[in-house]
Chain A
Amino acid sequence: MSITIHLPSVLAAHAGGTRAIETGGATVGTALDQLVSRYPQLGPRLRDAHGAPYPFVTIYLNDEDVRLVGGFEAAVRDGDEVTIVPAVAGG
């Protein structure tokens, strides 16, 4: 089981400069938890104090906003890509 998580440069700075990171996990949430266990500084920038999605990032499972496909509970499969993008953009 291999999931690739893509980070924007503003978050990659908290992950040793790495922009694409392989993790495991059965859901988006557990995949992110594995990422955070390796790079703890990412934790508060992915979840808020209540464990909900951090409001200043948008998380995509492949091409779908995870909020539209089950949030952190959305199941992931081998080869899936999770892309994190700063939320403050556009309009």
Chain B
Amino acid sequence: MSATLTPQIDRARSLTPLPLACASCGHGAGATPDAICSNCLGPLEPVYDAARRLPTREEIAARPRSLWRYREWLPFEGDPVHALDVGWTPLVEAPRLAARLGVARLWLKLDAHSFPSLSFKDRVVTTAINAAEAFGIDVIGCASTGNLANAVAAAAARAGKPAWIFVPEDLEIGKLVATTVFAPNLVRVRGNYDDVNRLCAQVADRFGWGIVNVNLRAYYGEGSKTMAFEIAEQLGWRLPTAVVTPMAGGSLVTKLRKGFTEARDAGLVARELPRQYGAQAEGCAPIVRLADRGDDVLIPEVPSTIARSLAIGNPADGLFASRILRHSGGAGQVVSDHELVAAIRLLAETTGIFAETAGGVTMAATLKLAEQGKLRADDEVVVCLTGHGLKTVEAVQDTILDAPIIAPKIREVAALVASHAA
């Protein structure tokens, strides 16, 4: 057993990305740093060898506690080079919250405590940066609403790679500083995330960099599946009955479904797949509205919400996510900015956990789903909290007004205590 948190992985076998094929038309693309089908422009996805040997529960349990313990479901042959110690975030039971919601049990999946950058984006960057390495791509980058910027900047710094990171100019200060401290090339773009995303599609096309969520997207997205495997394993290889996630581009919904399905197909879990619920803010809810309408035409929106990390008006996986919400027996749920702030505070006051605005959206949606009876008394619910509250302190900074400022005099403390007792 290693004395450090970083697992020792035998690097005898060189890292090779799996080949890709189009999820829409089936056209094979080989292993390539492209995410778009040259035939139909649909999304490319890794092709796994269906006959590959899969590990047992016991074999997985003996592996280091990182997302690489599920390596047979990650899009590589050989041994990873970077970010060997990412993943295995806490799954924390919250009985007071379960009682308040009226559900049987409730757990919080805390990617807010992900190493190294305090959001679930560490998972996707882990697979993307290894893909970049395998393809011989030195410069990595991203279009980001903040969390991905933090994750790419941290991973690039650790790997010694240059990074070009593009964000909307007016992100929260915590998200900006938690990027610039790693000294990447951070570019603040006048516009919203959708403007940044369009620019990065052109950047990837022009410069040949590894833009993790553009041309490395087929490898990047698979990292999210590991959250599903972790939830199953941390519950003792069981699945919850319902899962609530935030939605921005929608890929966490689709990749969780893929992960739960793969875990079941491998015989690791036996239970029915969970109902999936997706949360968005009222000021940017194209996926929820698409799921509510029940058609197949996403209508883009111009975002207006303090939940900046979810402010994607033209979500790439919106259609696929909306289908999963409906077909799993779940639904979408919108919440107001006021409700998300209240939910951040409720979560903190009942569980001791500080989530960012996206977590507030997810928690507020969970409350509303319970009020509507969509979450039931026999449900075992997992709520995914994907980013840490210290990144978006602006949302709840008014709480400091409740803290009195006094002189260092014991009589002033006594007066405060007396006023609280009154």
Contacts and interface: CB of A to CB of B under 8 A. Distances in A.
Interface string A29-71: 0000000000000000100000010111110100101011000
Nearest to A54: B41
Given A9-B205, A65-B314, A91 B250 contact: yes
B69 interface: no
A88 B205 contact: no
Nearest to B25: A56
Interface stretch (B231-239, B315-323, B378-386): B315-323
Contacts of A88: 35-36, 41-43, 217, 316
Contact-residue size bin, chain B (C-beta under 8 Å from the other chain): 35 or more
A57 B198 contact: no
B249 A55 contact: no
B256 interface: no
A91 B213 contact: yes
Contacts of A56: 24, 36-37, 40-42
Nearest to A86: B36
B200 interface: yes
Nearest to B42: A56
Interface stretch (B76-84, B189-197, B363-371, B411-419): B189-197
B302 interface: yes
A58 B248 contact: no
B355 interface: no
Contacts of A8: 201-202, 205
Given A10-B36, A63-B191, A65-B314, A89 B300 contact: no
A19 B319 CA distance: 29
Contact of B300 (A9, A57, A68): A68
Contacts of A91: 213, 248-251, 312, 315-317
A69 B312 CA distance: 18
Nearest to B247: A91
B41 A90 contact: no
B259 to A, nearest CB: 17
Nearest to A52: B297
Given A58-B314, A63-B191, A90 B42 contact: no
B44 to A, nearest CB: 8
Nearest to B144: A90
A1 interface: no
A13 B38 CA distance: 9
Contact of A65 (B43, B143, B213, B300): B300
Given A86-B41, A88-B35, A88-B36, A58 B198 contact: yes
Contacts of B249: 90-91
Contacts, number: 81
Contacts of B194: 65
Interface in B299-334: 299-300, 302, 312, 314-317, 319
Give the most central of B191, B201, B315, B319: most A CB within 10 Å.
B201
Interface string B4-33: 000000000000000000001000000000
Interface in B335-373: none
Contacts of A90: 143, 193, 197, 200-201, 213-214, 249, 312, 316
Nearest to A88: B43
B41 A89 contact: no
Contacts of B24: 56
A86 B193 CA distance: 16
B368 to A, nearest CB: 24
Contacts of A13: 38
Nearest to A53: B297
A38 B354 CA distance: 57
Interface string A2-36: 00000011110100000000000000000000000
A67 B314 CA distance: 10
Interface string B225-269: 000000000000000000000001111000000000000000000
A12 B157 CA distance: 35
Contact of A67 (B201, B299, B312): B299
B195 A89 contact: no
Give the most central of A45, A56, A63, A68: most B CB within 10 Å.
A56
17 contacts: A10-B36, A11-B41, A55-B319, A56-B36, A58-B198, A65-B194, A85-B201, A85-B202, A87-B314, A88-B35, A88-B42, A88-B43, A89-B204, A90-B201, A90-B316, A91-B251, A91-B316
**9 nearest A-B pairs in the assembled complex, by CB-CB distance:** A91-B249, A90-B197, A56-B41, A88-B43, A85-B201, A86-B36, A89-B201, A89-B214, A91-B316
Given A10-B34, A87-B314, A89-B201, 18 more contacts: A10-B36, A45-B40, A52-B297, A56-B41, A60-B198, A63-B195, A68-B300, A86-B36, A86-B41, A88-B35, A88-B42, A89-B35, A89-B204, A89-B213, A89-B217, A90-B143, A90-B249, A91-B249
